[in-house]
Amino acid sequence: MSRFGKFEFSDPRFERDHLRFLTFQSPALRGRGDVCLFIPPLPVEQGLPLVLLLHGVYCSHWAWALKGGAHLTALEMVVSGEIPPMILAMPSDGLKWEGTGYLPQHNADYERWIVDDVPDALREAIPQLSSESPLFLCGFSMGGFGALRLGAKYAQRFCAVSAHSSITQTDQFEALLTSGKEELIPCVPEERSLALWLIAKRPNLPEIRFDCGTADRYLEQNRSLHRELSNEKVLHLYEEFEGGHTWMYWQTHLRDSLRFFAQSARNKQTQRNEKK
């Protein structure tokens, strides 16, 4: 018996554009969790890379696909040969208040939902995934905070991390909430700042990149994070592009994340081949 209970998938007769929807019991959430999936329309091949895409405040598991067209971008890039086939998993953040920050709380662990339950359940439920599947993490805004924080804190789990328009401190996240602030914002200093985890895990970090639009509300915060990481000799790639805190920006620059992950996957494969 799976620790995730019964997997409830959408019916293939009604699915479109290679999107699937999955609900399963999450020990971390102490309830059900939802994930939107893009699975490339290819013959079953085990060990495909898995990309977790984290959404921002006010959104849910459908946002990356149905507001950002992430699945269409990935399909186009796979078909053109720009990236290898990848599975995109777009989980909800746990749906507490207007956003959970992907942080651990007393009644539900939104961190472990992303780091443990989602990848483990998908490896169990999807034939194209295996224990050898490279794992990547990406997000925007609150999801960018989640991606960089979790990618650093659990550095050994991820091959590479990419983030767009990231919140960099929990006080920026707190300002977006109208309720539940006391319950959701942690008091532990290490959980309030991206820089603390990235610096603490500096020797073992996965490959890290992040970007921000030049008209984004969090531009100065992202520049500050870049300067702090550079001063602390934390290896990372930081880029700026035209644009603001918008879906147009995230839709456009998801391509940069997928290219980054594709190169990371190639590098890992080369390393494995050299060891044989």
pTM of the predicted model as reported, rounded to 2 decimal places: 0.94
For every residue of 60-129, DSSP letters joined together read -TTHHHHTT-HHHHHHHHHHHTSS---EEEEE-----TT--TT-B-SS-BHHHIIIIIHHHHHHHH-TT-
**If we measure between CA atoms, which residue out of 11, 12, 61 comes closest to residue 37?**
61
Q: What is the mean pLDDT of residues 189-194?
A: 76
pLDDT in tens, 125-178: 999 999 889 999 999 999 999 999 999 999 999 999 999 999 998 888 888 877
Residue that the structure tokens 């997997």 belong to: 7
Mean of per-residue pLDDT scores for the chain:
92
Q: What is the mean pLDDT of residues 43-71?
A: 93
Domains in the chain with CATH codes: 8-275 (3.40.50.1820)
The answer to whether 56 and 142 are in contact (CB under 8 A) is yes
Residue 187 has pLDDT above 60, yes or no: no
Q: Which carries the bigger pLDDT value, residue 1 or residue 201?
A: 201
CA 147 – CA 74 distance, rounded (Å): 19
185 secondary structure, DSSP code: S
Task: Give the pLDDT of residue 191.
Answer: 75
CA 99 – CA 171 distance, rounded (Å): 13
pLDDT in tens, 2-49: 899 899 999 999 999 999 999 999 999 999 999 999 999 987 678 999
Q: What is the mean pLDDT of residues 96-120?
A: 92
The answer to whether 68 and 36 are in contact (CB under 8 A) is no
